[in-house]
Structure 1
Amino acid sequence: MSQQTHKIWEKDRNHILHPYTHFENFDREGSVIYSRGDKHFIFDNDGKRYLDGIAGLWCVNIGHGNQEMADHIGRQAKELAYYNTFEDAVSPPTAELAAELARLAPGDLNHVFFGTGGSVANDSAIKLVHYYYNIIGKPEKKKILSRDLAYHGSTYLAHALTGISGTHSAFDLPKELIHYLSAPYPYRRRDGQSEEEFCDVLIAEMEEAIIKIKPQNIACYIAEPIMGAGGVIVPPKGYHRRTAELCKKYDILYIADEVVTAFGRLGNMISSKDTFEVQPDILILAKGISSGYVPLGATVFSDRIYDAISKAEKENPYFSHGFTYSGHALACAAGLKNIEILEKNRLCEKVRQLGPYFEKELASLQDHPLVGDVRGSHYMLALEYVKDKHTKEAFDPAINIGKRVYRHAKEKGLIIRPIAHLNILSPPLTYDKNAIDETVSILSESLDATLEDLTAEKLLS
């Protein structure tokens, strides 16, 4: 570490509280300082180059250092960086982006509320749903169906929607509003159970929960098309369509959280309808909406909801929800340019072409002694590690198997995301065949190195 880098390292260590900090590790190791990016590469402050296997954090879909985007942001900042959008004000890029999102969104999702990220978009969605039901005279509809291992953010309400229970510790979240259904986790289904049978069980569980809670008390159901931070869990075929059918049957609004899956990661701009046969009532967008160049999120909702809430009442003439940075001009300009770049460079088509190759090459690691499951779709993939491949016994969390593999991969020039017994891959959509091949090669070497470490430390039976 150079002297300059060490100074930055110390300032960070002394003053920044990072998201999801493990305090003991951070106190011992501090941060890696990344200072530059180029397409699907990221460079640390001392110039070492890494393949960015996680697109920053599911975000940088058009790749790092895009000159066209940088120039566009600069022009917009000079022209108008910010003006509020409260009631009677708007900037051109804000209106243009709203229209573009309505064009891309399926069905009658023609209305947009802007925020600064996915957590805010999900909080806004729940507030909107409750407001809608209050307006139409169904104030008892308040409960929310979410899922174990779901990730919907970390603002107060979005954190409660998140079904990763380990993240809830010592936070007083409004979990009385939420009922968590089982995660649609095929790898962990009962022995001898087919995926079709597993899907039937999940749907039966959901309907039983609806009946028990009572449909008149349930406002909405929220789901990621593929669960992201919970483990890149791809549900059984037909699962999303059948959950949507239950929602329609029992008058429950369906929220599709596409913070990760939209804008090309699965090969489509929006995944719900094209990939999973679901027409949501509300669509949540963030991350890839601006490829992370400027923070931006959007809650996109139906004509049905807008028609109800837009009828002013004498005692309640205002929609009293919004933020200083809702519809931020610079962020929306970045969102518009991002969509243009994605479409012009045919990045969705590229992901559809290379995604199956990525899946196949990564699946070649399935035979490694540490690997229990390789799963995902296109540019959203994961490796799950097990102590015993036959029983699927998990590693002791204290071993931190995902972090061990991550460290070896980083040393060899690849950034992957460690989550307990998992490693996740979600690279920029600029990732080409060479990057895929290098990624799989480094992962193979890193798994071998990790196996050697565990054997030497006598941590394998």
Structure 2
Amino acid sequence: MDGQPNSPEARDKKYHLHSYTNARRHQEVGPMIIEKGDGIYVEDSNGKRYIEAMAGLWSVGVGFSEPRLVEAAAKQMAKLPFYHNFTHKAHSPLIDLAEKLVTMAPVPMSKAFFTNSGSEGNDTAMKMVWYRSNALGQPQRKKLISRKRGYHGVTIASASLTGLPNNQISFDLPIANVLHTESPHHWRDALPGETEEQFSTRLAEQLEQLILAEGPETIAAFWGEPVMGAGGVVVPPAGYWEKIQAVLQKYDILLVADEVICGFGRTGNMFGSQTYAMKPDIMVMSKQISSSYLPISALLINDTVFEPLADESNRIGTFGHGFTGGGHPVAAAVALENIAIIEERGLVDNAREVGAYMQKRLRELASHELVGEVRGVGLIAAVELVADKATKAPWGNVGALGGLANGLLQQNGVISRNMGDAIAFCPPLIITEKQVDIVVDAVAKSLDAAVKQVKA
């Protein structure tokens, strides 16, 4: 039990500093310990089962108990438990995975480069962009543009791209040469009466004004998630990516698509770039690439990026970047099998079809007195909570209502996550319509309970 000095809960509080957690608060409340996983469900140390409506961290596409991934890992572990890709070395799983990713890309790509996480992938993409600028004899072209509410990781560099205050406050971030333009959240940020198209036009104009103010010759790349994840599941408004890309093309600025959450089926297409007709020069992917059974991430780069990079590595004598575990053979084998399962079982189609049902069911909550907006696409969505629907005002501090509702939802057997007052849903790609019903019914029950506490 928690009160016992050697219990798992007590030892966790004593020895473990958690991610994205109030460390002082954790010393008081301790952890929820997850011991088992099965399909879309996980089970805690007390034997209570939950629907994992966030797929862990937006990531367990094929569910928590896929034997083919376990077998793929064990088989590769027995054959070659580790090798690297430094100095002209390679191994079969990585060669196969590189070929698979390049050939399945939604736009022409040239090469794959492997890292261990989305943060490392975006950090690496930043370095590649700067390396390319130097290779092209454009040392002044180093500025990168990201977006407010965007999420691209937590390394010093990638957290600078991230547009969320808690990832930068007290970390002395962002670093130099990282700029942020406006978030494409129509419900929250549009002017009164402004249509989605008009809002998108205004954001594209603001981006162009930023580029001109900084000097187009100093801007190297623009970063964007097809659908923002950790920023609150912000779905781009009508015309947004078309208008943004037109500005980037006008000033010869690279587009980096952060597919870490959207990739491998989440939006109802294999990649979010397909859903929104994006034509990136670099794609960063992780999470569902292996259903997070093992850590692995990848970048795809086109010839516009690769050719100058190759020339510069030839001039210097090496491309001086890489990770010991980047493209680990066991992780690569699991990723290959995971992608095969997604394709064989039609899980992208399931995300589109069951996702449409999930969007429909969640939108039935729009009339609830605490719901300001329901948004999403495919199998990713958010329900944004407000205390006042007319003014969109929060209940107390931002996040208080979201935290309350999220806690009630967990009590009702569904694990979600609140980003501020937005409750996110990103279940495994294998979820069924009947299971969606269980989730939405639990949300409705939790919101009704929240109303009683808000009005108390």
- Shorter-chain TM-score bucket reads over 0.9
- SS of 1:62's partner is coil
Shift of 1:229: 0.5
Q: Secondary structure at the match of 2:268?
A: coil
Whole-angstrom distance in 2 between the partners of 1:253 and 1:399 = 35
The Cα shift of 1:358 comes to 0.5
Higher deviation after alignment, 57-66 or 402-411: 402-411
Please list, as runs of the form range in 1=range in 2, the aligned pairs for 1:376-395 lying within 5 A after superposition: 376-395=376-395
Call closer, same or farther: CA 1:168–1:52 in 2, change over 3 Å.
same
Superposed displacement of residue 6, structure 1: 7.2
Alignment-derived partner of residue 199 in structure 2? 198
Quote the Cα distance in structure 2 between the aligned partners of 1:195 and 1:57: 29
- How far, CA to CA, are the matches of 2:160 and 2:8 in structure 1? 35
The Cα of 1:409 is off from its aligned counterpart by 1.1
CA–CA distance in structure 2, aligned partners of residues 155 and 313 of structure 1: 24
What SS is found at the alignment partner of 1:356?
Answer: helix
> Can you list the C-alpha shifts for 1:348-383, whole angstroms capped at 9, x where unaligned?
011111111110100011111111001011111001
Equivalences for 1:51-200 in 2 at 5 Å? 51-188=51-188, 189-200=190-201
Residue 329 of structure 1, CA deviation: 0.5
Report if aligned partners of 1:73, 1:334 keep a CA contact under 8 Å in 2: yes
Task: Find the aligned partners of 1:6 and 1:32 in 2 and give their Cα distance.
Answer: 16
Instruction: Give how far 1:40 is off.
Output: 0.3
Q: Which residue of 2 aligns with 1:23?
A: 23
Contact 2:140 2:218 in 1 (8 A): yes
CA distance in 2, matches of 1:108, 1:145: 23
Partner residue, 1:459: none
Count matched residues: 455
Secondary structure of the 1:196 match is helix
For 2:267, give the aligned amino acid.
L
The 8 Å contact of residues 313 and 319 in structure 2, kept in 1 or not, is answered as: no
Flag the 1:343–1:213 CA change in 2: closer, same or farther, 3 A.
same
For the residues of structure 1 that align with 2:60 and 2:220, how far apart are their CA atoms? 33
Measured in 2, the distance between the counterparts of 1:5 and 1:436 equals: 40
Partner Cα separation in structure 2 for residue 190 and residue 398 of structure 1: 21
In 2 relative to 1, CA 84–373 (structure 1 residues): closer, same or farther, beyond 3 Å? same
Further displaced range: 387-396 or 323-332: 387-396
1:25 to partner: Cα distance:
2.4
- 1:397 touches 1:420 (CA, 8 Å); kept in 2? no
Q: Could you list the runs of 4 or more consecutive aligned residues of structure 1 that deviate by over 6 angstroms after TM superposition? A: 2-6
Matched to 2:288, the amino acid is G
8 A contact 2:121–2:299 mirrored in 1? yes
- Which amino acid letter does the alignment assign opposite residue 268 of structure 1? N
How far 1:54 sits from its partner (Å)?
0.3
1:73, 1:333 within 8 Å by CA — same for their partners in 2?
yes
Counterpart code for 2:449: A
CA apart distance, 1:98: 0.5
Q: Once the two structures are superposed, what CA deviation does each residue of 1:206-227 show, in whole Å capped at 9, x if it has no partner?
A: 1111111111000100000011
The answer for the alignment partner of 2:349 in structure 1 is 349
CA contact (8 A) 1:409 1:446 kept: yes
Q: Per-residue displacement from partner, 1:10-39 (whole Å, max 9, x unpaired)?
A: 121111111112123212211100011111
Instruction: Report the Cα offset of residue 174 of structure 1.
Output: 4.1
Alignment match, 1:339: 339
Distance 1:357 1:144 in 2: 38
Does the 8 A contact of 1:150 with 1:229 survive in 2? yes
- Deviation of 1:396 after TM superposition, in Å, equals 2.2
TM-score calculated relative to the size of structure 1: 0.96
RMSD of aligned C-alpha atoms? 1.5
Which amino acid letter does the alignment assign opposite residue 205 of structure 1?
Answer: Q
Aligned mates of 1:337, 1:389 — CA distance in 2: 46
Secondary structure in 2 aligned to 1:332? helix
Percent identity for Structure 1 against Structure 2: 36
Instruction: Tell me the secondary structure at the aligned position of residue 431 of structure 1.
Output: coil
Q: Which residue of 1 aligns with 2:240?
A: 239
Structure 1: runs of 5 or more not aligned: 457-461
Structure 1, 276-285 or 187-196: larger mean CA deviation:
187-196
Is the contact made by 2:398 and 2:420 (CA closer than 8 Å) also made in structure 1? no
1:360 aligns with 2:381: no
CA distance in 2, matches of 1:313, 1:410: 51
Secondary structure at 2:7 match in 1: helix
CA distance change for structure 1 residues 44 and 312 in 2, over 3 Å: closer, same or farther?
same
